[in-house]
Amino acid sequence: MSSLEIRAHLLDLAQERVAAEQAGLTADPAYMADLETEVLQYRVALVGAVVTEIASLRGELFGRNMG
């Protein structure tokens, strides 16, 4: 999954959080915990994807693999 796809999903999750708050689902701790867990997982994935993309670009620019 690319960083752009992950970022798009994070934006969807942010919209889901707003909708949940408007629907009164903040009173459902299991739902909110699951939502927060997914947000955190995707944030970690975004960092990993961005670092990988930067490393790949650097490798392409300099024509060699860098540790």
The whole-number pLDDT of residue 14 equals 98
Looking at the 3D structure of the chain, how many domains does it have?
A: 1
Cα–Cα distances in angstroms (integers) from residue 38 to residues 13, 59, 62, in the given order? 8, 31, 36
pLDDT in tens, 3-60: 999 999 999 999 999 999 999 999 999 999 999 999 999 999 999 999 999 999 988 8
Residue 45's CB is within 10 A of a number of other CB atoms, namely: 16
Say if 58 falls within a structural domain: yes
Say if 47 falls within a structural domain: yes
Say if 67 falls within a structural domain: no
Place of tokens 């930067």: 54
Q: Which two tokens stand for residue 31?
A: 């739902």
